[in-house]
Amino acid sequence: MPAASTPSQPLHIVIIGYVWPEPNSSAAGYHMLSFIELFHNQGWTITFASPASLGDHRADLSPWNVQEVAISLNDASFDTWIAEQRPNVVLFDRFMMEEQFGWRVEKACPDAIRLLDTEDLHSLRDARHQMLKKQLQLTKDEVDFTPLLEMDTLFDYMSPTDLAQREIASIYRCDLTLMISDVELRLLTDYFSVPYQQLMHCPFMINHERSAPASAPSWQQRQHFVSIGNFRHAPNWDAVLWLKQRIWPQIRQALPQAELHIYGAYPPPKATDLNHPSSGFYVKGWAESADEVIQNARVLIAPLRFGAGIKGKLLDAMRNGTPSVTTPIGVEGMVSSQAWPGAIGGSEKAIAAAAVQLYQDEATWLKAQSRTQAILDHRFNTVKNQGNLLYLLNQMLDKKHLAQHRKNNFVGQMLRHHHHKSTQYMSQWIEAKNKLS
């Protein structure tokens, strides 16, 4: 890609959020905040709008001068509001927001660049979840990760599903879709035939000022295991159950004094009920500082059996110099030729054994810790990732370029025509119905 270029004048971006950003609750929240910081640093005007209710841990966006607006679904007031905003760019946070508001944005602001941030490929995550459920019905305990990773198998499973068809149609309808994982980008281009120019690999843009200092605790100063993740995210809850039922008992048998501290936003009663101090299994819930709890732990353990995107907890572990144990699903999109800073296990026994070795053996632990910087530099180069995004946006701000780009995306034109008509009439019917009730 050519050298990055910054738009020549301040712009206005409207972000339509699926939820209000919670960077301390989820990787998606952190990723969204990195976009806000980037656009703020360019001098852009930023408006964040969402139909969601306010979360308990939502970020304070005032340091970035973000205007926050509550919007409603199936309400024509949005059309007037978005037209008054006159945005240069509209960023849809996940495809569901494009489905709801994309036709309204195109109708009111036809010249605005329409970006989609998938966060992760929802249809991939759901397909893996369903495949895992079928496996567990037969095997009960062990998981074969091979079919969950093979693109041929995934395509065969995903392509007939309503969720994949909706999500990929949304990708076609937008001018550019930001993909956090290059694995998912290849799945879309090589199997679903999405044109490469419709996609951009945009992994986490790490704020290095937030990274842990070099004086992070040593192996001797740390103790216990940590696992962290929003309990509302199905892969995280599945990982907690696998830990509780199968993996932690094996670790605890080898390390009778060790403890596992489970952190995450929005723990339901079924999660807190798993708290069992006598076996060293502690469900802590919300962590004010993920960095602090990860830094003080000796090993982070993330036995993810399904999922998609990039796992923020594993990136946080690297930033804090904490070796981690995970699965082939966990490392997807994060490594290529680089060695993992910890261990990758494909079975409960392998995960438990690797966790015990990292915990007990300082030399193994230090070797794992030394691998973090190579991955951070290679995969999460902030300057490079930000520059590439600004370069593509600057290209699309040229009306002739944007017009040709849209003309080349004929499939997107067809999908917008049919989707927008059906969605418009359905939305107007719901709005009229709501007024009568």
C-alpha 154: how far from chain center:
19
Q: Are 247 and 280 in contact (CB under 8 A)?
A: no
What is the radius of gyration, based on Cα positions, of the chain? 22
Q: What pLDDT, on the 0 to 100 scale, is given for residue 71? A: 96
Q: What pLDDT, on the 0 to 100 scale, is given for residue 419? A: 67
CA distance 242 to 250: 12
Pick the CATH number of 12-205+382-436 from 3.40.50.2000, 3.40.50.720, 2.60.120.10, 3.40.50.1470: 3.40.50.2000
Domain spanning 209-379, CATH class: alpha beta
Residues found in the chain:
437
C-alpha 404: how far from chain center:
31
Residue 293 in tokens: 């709890």
CA distance 275 to 67: 41
What are the boundaries of each domain within the chain? 12-205+382-436, 209-379
Residue 233 in tokens: 């995210």
Residue labelled with tokens 């995960």: 351
> In which element (H, E) is residue 281 found?
strand 281-285
Tell me if 12-205+382-436 shares its fold with 209-379.
yes
> In which element (H, E) is residue 330 found?
helix 328-331
- The model carries a pTM of 0.91
In the chain (437 residues long), the average pLDDT of successive 10-residue segments reads 54 96 85 94 96 88 95 92 97 96 94 96 97 90 91 97 96 96 97 96 74 74 96 96 96 97 95 96 93 95 96 94 96 83 95 97 95 87 89 93 94 79 64 69
DSSP string for residues in 363-380: HHHHHHHTTHHHHHHHH-
